Amino acid sequence: MKRPVAAVAGTGRGVPAHVMTNHDFAAIGIETSHDWIFERSGIVERHIAKNGETTCSMASEASRKAMDAAGVHPGEIDVIILATATPDRLLPSTAVDIQAELGATRAAAFDIGAACSGWLYAMTTAEGLIMSGTAETALVIGAEKMSAIVDWKDRSTCVLFGDGAGAVVLQRSKGGKGILSAYMRSDGKLADLLYRPEGGATTPMSADVLEKRSHLVRMAGREVFKHAVRSMSDAADRALDGARLTGTDIDLLIPHQANMRIIEATAKHSGIPMEKVFVNVDRYGNTSSASIPIALNEAIESGRVKDGSTVMMVAFGAGFTWASMVIRF
């Protein structure tokens, strides 16, 4: 096991106040039911951005709370890395908007796109910057306004996602705490199973694209499900191997919150009982890159992550991408 170089100094979350339950879909003409959504995914409700809430505003709220918890001022942040699939604008990055909003004048800021695995990719990148001496203090955010890119006419996807942001201040480690292992993988051959077909530089937004709704998320749910179970299990094995640990050493598993059945399969594969698994997919749905940092913040707030806890995080998402990390708190 390597000596940890980077450790979590504080966490925060910023989620919209508006809650949409499974029953609320009827009011917008979606033919679905609470039972279908809950049985297939474990989701009961999700937060949806309203009244001008943006990826930047949710991320900034999460970041302020994370900096408060860490006792760090905006001027001390060396780098801001935002994992998002829903930047507010295509140019420049949303990370620079967050930098301006926070007044983090010394920071370099950029976005990372790795879909639901994005925050673990961002954490691994930040760890590397701290390890190389390029940064001492990093703000690592996962923030998504998924409600802006899902197809509200496609019942097979729109019921699954939610909005929100989570943030972590990552600093040089002291006293053996911090990231014990990290793992990242991708398989671009499977990109078309979960994607937004058009509206990018190849086929810019046009009346035709809007008419076809091909700028919105499309997902082959059943295929994605199979790969998610396989890849998250693989990622969990790699993170444990990297940290020279087994499932029994893990105090809490925080998996990406996409689907209760995927979460249960991942935990079972690693020999981790469900009492040691953090679940909030029922209250948030799938918030993509924000799901793990929101869950981590809630786990710390509720006392399920304490001083000395060993926590494993595992994610899977569009790309496909998958990733994992073990952190000692």
The residues that touch ligand UT7, with contacts defined as CB under 6 A, are 32, 36-37, 40-41, 116, 155-156, 159-160, 194, 221-222, 224-225, 228, 258-259, 262, 286, 316-317
| Residue type at 80 in one-letter notation | I
Distance CA 322, CA 124 (A): 12
- Centroid of chain to Cα 123: 11
For this structure, is 256 an active site residue? Answer: yes
For this structure, is 286 an active site residue? Answer: yes
The Cβ-side half-sphere exposure at 312, using a 13 Å CA radius, reads 32
Nearer to ligand UT7, 8 or 143 (CB): 143
Nearer to ligand UT7, 284 or 316 (CB): 316
All residues at 6 or more sequence positions from 8 whose CB lies less than 8 Å from its CB, including other chains: 168, 169, 170, 178, 296, 327, 329
User: For residues 11 and 66, is the Cβ–Cβ distance under 8 A?
Assistant: yes
The CB-of-228 to ligand UT7 minimum distance in angstroms stands at 4
Nearer to ligand UT7, 183 or 316 (CB): 316
Distance CA 64, CA 60 (A): 6
The CB-of-211 to ligand UT7 minimum distance in angstroms stands at 23
Catalytic residue among 22, 56, 215, 256: 256
Catalytic residue among 116, 158, 215, 259: 116
Distance CA 151, CA 117 (A): 21
Catalytic residue among 22, 259, 286, 297: 286
The CB-of-195 to ligand UT7 minimum distance in angstroms stands at 11
The CB-of-80 to ligand UT7 minimum distance in angstroms stands at 24
Q: Which residue is nearest to ligand UT7, using beta carbons?
A: 221
For this structure, is 56 an active site residue? Answer: no
- Bridge partners, residue 322, by sequence: 185, 316
Distance CA 7, CA 171 (A): 5
What would the two tokens of residue 30 be? 């979606």
All residues at 6 or more sequence positions from 169 whose CB lies less than 8 Å from its CB, including other chains: 8, 9, 10, 11, 66, 67, 69, 70, 72, 77, 137, 138, 139, 140
User: For residues 258 and 281, is the Cβ–Cβ distance under 8 A?
Assistant: yes
Q: In residues, how long is the chain?
A: 329
The CB-of-226 to ligand UT7 minimum distance in angstroms stands at 9
Distance CA 196, CA 214 (A): 7
Nearer to ligand UT7, 156 or 214 (CB): 156
Nearer to ligand UT7, 137 or 266 (CB): 266
Nearer to ligand UT7, 245 or 258 (CB): 258
The CB-of-40 to ligand UT7 minimum distance in angstroms stands at 4
Catalytic amino acids? 116, 256, 286
